[in-house]
Amino acid sequence: MPAIDAAAFLRDLHALREIGRFRTGVHRPTYSPQDMESRRWLMDRMAECGLDPSIDGVGTVLGRHPGPGPHLLVGSHIETQNEAGWLDGALGVVAGLALARAGLPVDVVAFADEEGHFDVGFLGSRSAIGDLAEAEIDAGRNSHDGTPLRDALAAAGLAGLPRLRLDPARYRGFLEMHIEQGTRLEGAGHAVGIVTGIVAIWQWRIVIEGGQDHAGGTTMAERRDAGLAAVRLLAAIDREFPRLCGEASTWTTGRIVLDPGAASIIPGRAEILFQFRDVAVPVLERMEAGLRALVRESNRRERCTARLEAVSRATPALCDPDLMRALSGAAEAICPGNWQALPSGAGHDAQNLARIMPAAMLFVPSIGGVSHHWAEDTREEDLVQGLRVLGEAAERILAG
Ligand code: HGY
Ligand code: MN
Ligand code: MN
């Protein structure tokens, strides 16, 4: 068992929580001043743990272990959703610091923009595995306010820095510790989850053009109400998708913007951010075909025009069996019977790392399953016990 310093681990977590604090959570959108402060904070902690820190051209922070291999790569992300949780992402990075502090030969990484504040999709981890063209950065926009990604990188002082490219030969694999962001572990009374597979998120933008007009003078028969067309299309999706989906598929409309958004004006334009998720590509393809058919049907029936744009399509991943065996062996040794295997309904950087090296994830319970909300939380004993399982598994993998 590696000599884990639990006090230092918790101290780091709570210190990071104070950077961009929002109520009991954190507000650290990618490249915001508080996000860049957290990246500098992380680089200082990496140096303290004996790692050689660097930040790359899209803001990914890597702490390289100076010693001989074999190595493990351990990490996650440290930016957060807006006004969201203190553990989503941060837990996996700070856990990596704790393993380095315990003397394990690990590189620690915080991949930039896992949370998709920019519409490139997994910007940092896709760049690090060599799956991001410069043209995608040129075209990237902030998903909330449309700021060009190039402008955001320049404002953050990252323009012109080289982009990290991971060498898979350096690593036995990638481990990511993360909160579950669901209720399975808590519901089963288990303290540790060994992730079997990670869903892909297929993200869409649907733009509906109607006719802005007077809310009173325009009769119901002649108006072209983009808002109503949007609501009818989303209702049609919700009726049809249960017929097309897989056992654990999800679909979510995260945002509907009506323009001009005034009480007495018929909306001439509606913009929808819609996504669906599954761990199997054939199911994702079936849902895409269904979505396209429903958009065509809307254009047949409505006096408005709906346009479907694919924003990003991630790749689902199955976790590496050998790494999973090390994690479950460590869990059985440290908290016998108090763990289970389960799929991830959330997307994670690990699903990209799995494309170039063995990758696996360890979950700890989320209280009430709450995440992507400032009330997100996990019991400290679960955080520490999960870290001990991660450390034991890392030691087994490195000794293997
Ligand atoms: O949305 C997700 O699954 C991830 O937390 N960004
Ligand atoms: Mn996350
Ligand atoms: Mn998240």
Any idea what the CATH number is for the domain that residue 123 is in? Answer: 3.40.630.10
Handedness of CA 360, 364, 369, 372 (dihedral sign): negative
Residues 106 and 95 in one domain: yes
Residues 217 and 95 in one domain: no
Which domain-ending residue is among 280, 297, 313?
Answer: 313
Which domain-ending residue is among 294, 313, 332?
Answer: 313
Question: Of 78, 79, 372, which is best to mutate to test ligand 1, by the most ligand atoms within 8 angstroms of its C-beta?
Answer: 372
Is residue 275 in a domain?
yes
Can you give the pLDDT of all 400 residues of the chain as single tens digits? 889 999 999 999 999 999 999 999 999 999 999 999 999 999 999 999 999 999 999 999 999 999 998 999 999 999 999 999 999 999 999 999 999 999 999 999 999 999 999 999 999 999 999 999 999 999 999 999 999 999 999 999 999 999 999 999 999 999 999 999 999 999 999 999 999 999 999 999 999 999 999 999 999 999 999 999 999 999 999 999 999 999 999 999 999 999 999 999 999 999 999 999 999 999 999 999 999 999 999 999 999 999 999 999 999 999 999 999 999 999 999 999 999 999 999 999 999 999 999 999 999 999 999 999 999 999 999 999 999 999 999 999 999 8
Is residue 47 in a domain?
yes
Q: Nearest ligand to the C-alpha of residue 376?
A: 3
224 Cα: distance to centroid of ligand 1 (angstroms): 35
Residues 190 and 43 in one domain: yes
Residues 259 and 158 in one domain: no
Is residue 187 in a domain?
yes
Residues 190 and 209 in one domain: no
Residues 47 and 171 in one domain: yes
User: CB under 8 Å to 348, separation ≥6 — which residues?
Assistant: 76, 114, 176, 178, 198, 361
Residue of the CA atom closest to atom 4 of ligand 1: 347
Residues 65 and 179 in one domain: yes
Query: How high is the pLDDT of residue 1?
Result: 86
Q: Domain of 267? A: 200-313
Tokens of 217: 């003078």
Is residue 381 in a domain?
yes
Number of structural domains (the chain) is 2
Residue type, 332: E
Q: Which atom of ligand 1 is nearest to the CA of 277?
A: 3
348 Cα: distance to centroid of ligand 1 (angstroms): 7
Residue 225 Cβ inside 6 Å of ligand 1? The answer reads no
Q: Nearest ligand to the C-alpha of residue 198?
A: 1
Rounded CA-CA distance 119/116 in Å is 6
Q: Which atom of ligand 1 is nearest to the CA of 372?
A: 5
Residue of the CA atom closest to atom 6 of ligand 1: 115
Residue of the CA atom closest to atom 3 of ligand 1: 346
Rounded CA-CA distance 168/171 in Å is 6
291 Cα: distance to centroid of ligand 2 (angstroms): 27
Residues 223 and 123 in one domain: no
92 Cα: distance to centroid of ligand 3 (angstroms): 12
Residues 130 and 26 in one domain: yes
351 Cα: distance to centroid of ligand 1 (angstroms): 12
Which domain-ending residue is among 296, 313, 330?
Answer: 313
Rounded CA-CA distance 58/127 in Å is 8
Residue 347 Cβ inside 6 Å of ligand 1? The answer reads yes
Per the annotation, does 77 bind a ligand?
yes
Count H helices and E strands in the chain, helices first: 12, 17
Whichever domain contains 212, its CATH number is 3.30.70.360
Residues 67 and 154 in one domain: yes
Is residue 211 in a domain?
yes
pTM over 0.75: yes
Residues 10 and 155 in one domain: yes
Q: Give the residue from 241, 260, 261, 243 showing the smallest Cα distance to 251.
A: 241
149 Cα: distance to centroid of ligand 2 (angstroms): 21
Is residue 1 in a domain?
no
Residues 210 and 221 in one domain: yes
Q: Nearest ligand to the C-alpha of residue 26?
A: 3
Is residue 55 in a domain?
yes
Query: How high is the pLDDT of residue 69?
Result: 87
Q: Give the residue from 308, 315, 363, 358 showing the smallest Cα distance to 340.
A: 363
Residue 346 Cβ inside 6 Å of ligand 1? The answer reads yes
**Residue 175: burial class (beta carbons within 10 Å; 0-12, 13-18, 19+):** buried
